[in-house]
Structure 1
């Protein structure tokens, strides 16, 4: 018996919205506070950012091999466009299976998070680290880290979809481990390559987590529900 479009979009495996709402609210509060501190150039935070960034850069300039590995990871494996492509594949698969409300919800969440990211970059206008001997380069404003936020949103949405599909625990644990490595790893590559301050990466993680949490909570509350089969 084939699953109906409604049942695909409204699996009973969906988590309750309250934990997701609380997670989104906490991440939003923390991200907002961090954004205010960054925009205000709060000196203790600026000093901490520079201390960490300088220490990592001093090490990076002495290890060209490790720099190359980090550039491959950040430019190809964990690039924002890679994450968006994976999300697009998931959206197409959902649409093809008939779960079109869920597909549109995920696509809208990915688009809105990208717009939020670019809007904050423009509003805060933070300069990236500048080095006399850079090992990599990047464009646009620094805060928040687009790589960190895109990885958090992409991996978070894919994990949420996997959970909704009713996947077994081993698969969910494997996917969660890969997602954790990707989200943490891409943030570390941006710091090691000297193209972001630590608070840029932290901001990207918090904003991405908030976006995923609100996406899950919103669909759980407003998305279509599975109708029970007749005779049950």
Structure 2
């Protein structure tokens, strides 16, 4: 039942991406009007403050796709060293699939990036979906799923009340969500992506993580391991208790 629920949740997150994909490829006029309105308003705000523009440019690079990939690979190496080899492989596979899928969809859709007067930033390649937003959603989620079982293995849950653990769990996911949303905001504010690009990137990133985590959990259960809820316990929580 839990695995079925998880699969349904993944499917639910795929709906906004598929819907946006269809609307973008069909050149749906209302969507383009919303995108252009948001792009103009945010661009005007950033353009009026050069210091803020420099800050956003720096932030979007610091939290760029290569940084998330490096963090996930570093976490995987650490997990491998600790003996949690299957979660390490899962993490690397997930971030790799996310990057390759983003490139494939960009190539298929081939959407042009915004062209704004007095640009404050520039980015190469196609626009849909946002690689920065997708990498942030994927990377932040993978790191949380790797960190949750580590905190449990150190006795945090046993030593604290259930409400404290719930706060810690919620805080981790909240930080991941805020970082992802901030990255998405920088891309639109800098005028290098449309609003629908970053929404699609986040949705597709969540789908990739949810899909690989659900597949990994199904594999665990087929091997007779204790059922787990990845979004609560992380992937293969027993691997970090050695």
TM-score (norm: length of structure 1): 0.86
Q: CA offset at residue 204 of structure 1?
A: 0.3
Gaps of 5+ in 1: 1-14
Q: Distance in 2 between matches of 1:160 and 1:22?
A: 19
Q: Does 25-34 or 115-124 show the bigger shift?
A: 25-34
Is 1:154 aligned to 2:139, yes or no? yes
Q: CA offset at residue 162 of structure 1?
A: 2.2
2:162 is matched with: none
* CA-atom RMSD in angstroms: 1.9
Q: Distance in 2 between matches of 1:94 and 1:32?
A: 34
Alpha-carbon contact 1:17-1:218 (below 8 Å) kept: no
Q: CA offset at residue 226 of structure 1?
A: 4.5
Cα-to-partner distance string for 1:22-60 (whole Å, 9 max, x where unaligned): 121011122111111111111110111001101111111
Q: Distance in 2 between matches of 1:179 and 1:16?
A: 23
Is 1:195 aligned to 2:180, yes or no? no
Alpha-carbon contact 1:20-1:216 (below 8 Å) kept: no
2:121 is matched with: 136
Alpha-carbon contact 1:129-1:195 (below 8 Å) kept: yes
1:47 is matched with: 33
Structure 1 segment 1-232 matched on structure 2, within 5 A:
16-76=2-62, 78-167=63-152, 168=156, 169=165, 170-223=167-220, 226=225
Q: Distance in 1 between matches of 2:4 and 2:180?
A: 24
Alpha-carbon contact 2:60-2:183 (below 8 Å) kept: yes
Q: CA offset at residue 105 of structure 1?
A: 1.6
RCO (CA 8 Å, sep 6+): is it higher in 1 or 2? 1
Alpha-carbon contact 1:18-1:217 (below 8 Å) kept: no
Alpha-carbon contact 2:136-2:179 (below 8 Å) kept: yes
Larger helix share, 1 or 2:
2
Cα-to-partner distance string for 1:149-208 (whole Å, 9 max, x where unaligned): 000000111112223345342543332232122101000111110110000000001001
Q: Distance in 2 between matches of 1:157 and 1:33?
A: 25
Q: Does 41-50 or 159-168 show the bigger shift?
A: 159-168
* Count of matched residue pairs: 213
Alpha-carbon contact 1:16-1:220 (below 8 Å) kept: no
